[in-house]
Amino acid sequence: MRTPIIAGNWKMNMTIAEGVALVEALTGALQGVTGAEAVVCPPFTLLKPIADALAGGGIKLGAQDMCWEAKGAYTGQISATMLKDVCCTYVILGHSERRGRFGSIPADWDDDLLLAFGDNDTVVNRKVKAALAAGLIPIMCCGETLDERERGITDEVVASQIRAGLNDLSATQVAGMVIAYEPVWAIGTGKVCDPTEGNRVIGIIRATVRALLGDAAADAVRIQYGGSATPDNIAEIMAQPEIDGALVGGASLKPAFAVMVKTAAG
């Protein structure tokens, strides 16, 4: 039986004071709740104060990205060891926004600006390997753009990202990971992929893992849905048999995030 996991991606939001106040509220609301795992993923500047605020509670800490190198002259980067040092358990890798794939792009952004967000499948694979080597649990993201969906290549795009992202990993390693299916067109747009369609695509992801690494890994790996998940739709999302949780964006910035965790816990 896979334990549901609800992870909140705070993205580029929250001051220290705001973040600490939120996790204190969440900790109180989730006291005694079992049956689902709750994770918060603040910006790098908040990791240490949020770790301190979470100490002794049941909510886990995650980061939003990391570098695949252990240390060195990589200005602006954060290593897996640094994340472990501030008590991170999880790290989000390959999020569509890190790949330069956005549900909506500001009108004044051009291709040169988008190059600042340049993760590709090879980069994601390196990051996943580095995270696992350091003892972090990757939340590896995959998903199609609106153009790719309209062209009818969703399954091909997602399966390709999974094969590349999991390249050279063992069944045991993948069994302990989390994968997040995030249709890019549903991220930050208010549009939600129909839960039955999300379930179908997550079934494709699990089938791809099965073909690569066998039944044990496919049956154990937890696969989340990400893309405008809210307290209002989380019950329908969690009712789908292939979906093991949610990677939550905007709704994770409010105390009602606790409602989503409780719903997943049943």
From first to last of its 266 residues, the chain has per-residue pLDDT tens of 899 999 999 999 999 999 999 999 999 999 999 999 999 999 999 999 999 999 989 999 999 999 999 999 999 999 999 999 999 999 999 999 999 999 988 999 999 999 999 999 999 999 999 999 999 999 999 999 999 999 999 999 999 999 999 999 999 999 999 999 999 998 878 777 999 999 999 999 999 999 999 999 999 999 999 999 999 999 999 999 999 999 999 999 999 999 999 999 99
* Domain 5-88+103-265 top-level CATH class: alpha beta
Q: Which residues are catalytic?
A: 95, 182
Buried b (16+ CB within 10 A) or exposed e, 160-170: ebbeebbeebe
Threshold 0.95, pTM exceeds: yes
- Enumerate the domain spans of the chain: 5-88+103-265
